[in-house]
Chains A and B, each alone.
Chain A
Amino acid sequence: MDIWAQLINGFAVALTAQNLMWALLGVTLGTAVGVLPGVGPAVTVALLLPITTKVDASGALIMFAGIYYGAMYGGSTTSILLNTPGESATIVTAMEGNQMARRGRAGPALATSAIGSFIAGTIATIGLTFLSPLVVELGLKFGPPEYFALMVVAFTTVSSVLGNSTLRGMTSLALGLAIGLVGIDNQTGQARFSYGVPQLLDGIEVVTIAVGLFAVGETIYNASKMSQVKETLERMSGSIWMKADDWKRSWKPWIRGTLIGFPFGSIPAGGAEIPTFLSYAIEKKLSRNPEEFGSGAIEGVAGPEAANNASSTGAMVPLLTLGLPTSATAAILLSAFQQYGLQPGPMLFEANSALVWGLIASFYVGNVMLLVLNLPMVGLWVKLLEIPKPQLYAGILVFATMGVYGMRQSPFDVFLLYGVGLAGFLMRRFGFPAAPVIVGMILGPLAEEQMRRALAISQGSPMIFFTHPISAALLALAVTVILAPWLWRRFGPARRRS
């Protein structure tokens, strides 16, 4: 097969001493950037763009790509240890991973996230190598009605994060949907729920709400109980490594997460948040111990982390084959290509075959490097949790504040963060789950935008959602997901009796 020959040529490029060094530099920087709050991979690559005048194209692009997916590995570390997700794709990881860390299982949480990322990254790179033309064709079949149907499917996952009380869960969800409406509406340009506050015209960042509800809210809650309850430190109990049982419970979620994440990353408006939610919901449904979800189930870290990494590799598909950037970082990678006078697209594979395949081969190499780099770090990271509680929570507040301020350099966001934190404390106090707020905030605006676009195209006829085969199939899937448990309860046992 032709692809094999080209891939082997690619490895010849990627495995030169010089390019190995660029890859190592890239993934190391990327990991550091992912761990530090407030500095994203996009900014880092942008800052390093001037080196394109000194370094040859393969070396620079290999390093930039390393920063890009290295940051995905690093981002999960702070989510798990400190409950401060630096970007929306690691919010789910923070939900379950931090619960594991609280129960002294930070080691296995970090390990399953690193190994899952490696497996997802590698499988997704194989997908990128062999399936790109196919996947990109599929991706282009997704228009507004298909995206809307996809959002509906994603909404069915909400039930997995609603918690014990459906009423309280739905209240949280409605709150999230309402927060998602704040800001200027893209379709008409009208400001909604901004009450004349200019900072609200931008809308509210998901990460601000997530960090506020999770990290700040938790900190206040713990502080409020500090005087009453004798301090119990969640020191590491047991091995920091994954036990046989952890492996057994992780490997299937890794694979499933990858299979969800990669296609999502490859479609032009897919993103990384929705696949992490979907993966989480599926793992909860399939788990033999669903009651552990919400209090540290390893599947809930393994699946979403794999989905997150697979989708970031998937984003390379539209970038390399069509020249379509689907994230801020991908856009900067695109401009790095253009610095060298290269235009990503089908022509690139023919005209600069050595470069493209060298870059793809470097993904394989970089993923191995990240695993080797990150696994030994687990032991070091978990030491963080040995810091006494007051100091640890103070540290979390510092990181949360820095991260939120770093996103937009807006003091308003910092006040908002603490306001949300206070709300998060009250929600926790009165038993309202925080996760549905985030789900509503992410999915609500996306679903609304795509639905209105679809209806504009169909001139107001909702039939467009049913006449498009992909959209119809997705909607049918959503109905099945909602009705199946009810039908099963209604007819399943009856059939068994007869």
Chain B
Amino acid sequence: MKCHFPRTLFRSVALAAGLAIAGSAAATENIRMMIPANPGGGWDTTGRELGKAMLAAGAVKNIQYDNKGGAAGAIGLAQFVSASKGDPNALMMGGMVMVGGLIQNKSAVTLDQVTPVARLTSEYEVIVVPANSPIKDMKDLMAKFKANPGSISWGGGSAGGTDHILAGLLAREVGVEPGKVNYVPFKGGGEAVAAIIGGHVSVGVSGLSEFAQHVQSGKMRALAVSSAAKIGNIPSLKEQGYNVELANWRGIFGAPGISKDQQAALVKAVEAATKNASWAETLKKQDWTAYWLAGDEYGAFIKDETKRIGDILAGLNLGKK
């Protein structure tokens, strides 16, 4: 730790000189990152890997992570909005799941309240079954699902999230009323993995990164991915005749009420991280696609996305409870 310190200090000083704004350099010294999901899930991995890249790029000196899971990130967002107001050193992970969750929950706190920093990655969903499941393939699954929708329990993340939306889209595609999807929400990724490997739900839906290692180790069998084309040797839904495509994006936000300069400093720090070799390695390792969009353009994207997902949820009757 001691021998590491001077170098980091030197880097921060160099960064300060580079920016020529003393205030914004101080703004990225010690970052606190809110991860609004329990440990082990997709936001958790993205946030911690981004943090690692920010450290590797010398954009920040220190990062602390707060995990606060549940309700599609609304719980973490609520805390972030209330506890970090005006804090130029606070970041929060988020993404499409949160957009859907907030609409569905009629949340009092919204993504309008936080400051957009950058959209980072997109990832595709994978549909899996436990290794010893009697379900052979996607056709088999859909046949059983059509025959008795309730008999297939879908395990995934929070209600109204990407996983839930994908199950709903598939239902609509094969002519099952989406409201009949028997969806079992878990907090964060880790708990869902245990329930799927243990065979407690029929099907698991989640991002590829959350399940990839378990598919590799043979504890889960992958039936389909939600991209247009196959990923690795997992065929896409489209290739198997189901016209469903869904990308799950993830991005990062700053605290409410920070200045334009502070927002720019955060964008700069995150951008430096995404240009670092460590981030490129992460994207490769996790099978994520870079999906960069920064600042106010990202804010505009979120507004569009909020409307698009709101329409999907209303169409799927997922908004009603």
Contact = CB atoms under 8 A, between A and B. Distances in A.
A343 B213 contact: yes
A408 B79 contact: yes
Interface string A321-332: 011111110111
A342 to B, nearest CB: 12
A409 interface: yes
Interface stretch (B115-123, B186-194, B227-235, B303-311): B186-194
Nearest to B69: A186
A268 B82 contact: no
- Interface size grouping (class) on chain A: 35 or more
B81 interface: yes
A330 B39 contact: yes
B74 A140 contact: no
Contacts of A383: none
A322 B197 CA distance: 10
Contact of B4 (A50, A183, A189): A50
A201 B200 contact: no
A410 to B, nearest CB: 5
**Chain B CB within 10 Å — which of A202, A318, A323 has the most?**
A202
B280 interface: no
B67 A144 contact: no
B160 to A, nearest CB: 7
A184 interface: yes
B246 to A, nearest CB: 20
A469 to B, nearest CB: 14
Contact of A183 (B75, B182, B197, B213): B75
Interface stretch (A16-24, A41-49, A354-362): A41-49
Contacts of A184: 70-71, 74-75, 78, 105
B104 interface: yes
Contacts of B64: 43, 46-47
A186 B158 contact: yes
A467 interface: no
Interface string A173-201: 00000000001111111110000101101
B193 A324 contact: yes
B195 A325 contact: no
A335 B72 CA distance: 22
A72 interface: no
Contact of B39 (A49, A189, A318, A332): A332
Contact of B108 (A198, A203, A325, A409): A198
A408 B83 contact: yes
A261 B186 CA distance: 24
A457 interface: yes
Contacts of B67: 328, 331
Given A268-B194, A457-B201, A189 B104 contact: yes
A480 interface: no
A16 to B, nearest CB: 20
A305 B321 CA distance: 43
B200 A144 contact: yes
- Interface size grouping (class) on chain B: 35 or more
A463 B109 CA distance: 39
Given A185-B71, A331-B40, A459-B150, A201 B109 contact: yes
B124 interface: no
B276 interface: no
B245 to A, nearest CB: 25
Interface in B1-26: 1, 3-4, 8
A141 B199 CA distance: 8
Given A201-B109, A269-B194, A331-B67, A189 B101 contact: yes
A327 B4 contact: no
B125 interface: no
Interface in A323-372: 323-328, 330-332, 334-335, 339, 343, 345-347
Given A184-B71, A322-B197, A456 B83 contact: no
A339 B158 CA distance: 28
A201 B75 contact: yes
B162 to A, nearest CB: 14
A51 B78 contact: no
A53 interface: yes
B127 interface: no
Contact of B200 (A54, A322, A457): A457
B321 to A, nearest CB: 5
A186 B71 contact: yes
Contact of A186 (B70, B150, B199): B70
B190 A456 contact: no
A412 interface: yes
Contacts of A456: 153, 182-184
A251 interface: no
**Chain B CB within 10 Å — which of A140, A332, A345, A346 has the most?**
A140
B55 interface: yes
B52 interface: yes
A302 to B, nearest CB: 31
B133 to A, nearest CB: 14
B271 interface: no
Contact of A198 (B39, B78, B200): B78
Contacts of A141: 198
B68 interface: yes
B62 interface: yes
Contacts of B65: 46, 332
B78 A331 contact: no
Contact of A345 (B150, B186, B217): B217
Contacts of A318: 194
Contacts of A343: 213
B163 interface: no
A453 B190 contact: no
Nearest to B282: A338
B281 to A, nearest CB: 9
A321 to B, nearest CB: 11
Nearest to A51: B1
A189 B153 contact: no
A81 to B, nearest CB: 28
B169 to A, nearest CB: 19
A201 B184 contact: no
Given A189-B158, A189-B159, A412-B82, A140 B197 contact: yes
B185 interface: yes
A331 to B, nearest CB: 3
Given A184-B71, A186-B70, A330-B39, A324 B190 contact: yes
A133 interface: no
A198 B182 contact: no
A289 B108 CA distance: 53
B172 interface: no
B74 A198 contact: no
A419 interface: no
13 contacts: A46-B63, A54-B4, A140-B199, A143-B199, A186-B70, A189-B158, A189-B160, A198-B82, A203-B75, A330-B39, A335-B48, A345-B213, A453-B186
Given A142-B198, A327-B39, 10 more contacts: A49-B52, A50-B1, A50-B4, A140-B198, A140-B199, A185-B71, A186-B70, A268-B190, A408-B79, A453-B185
State the 3 A-B residue pairs at the shortest beta-carbon distance, nearest first: A331-B39, A143-B200, A189-B105
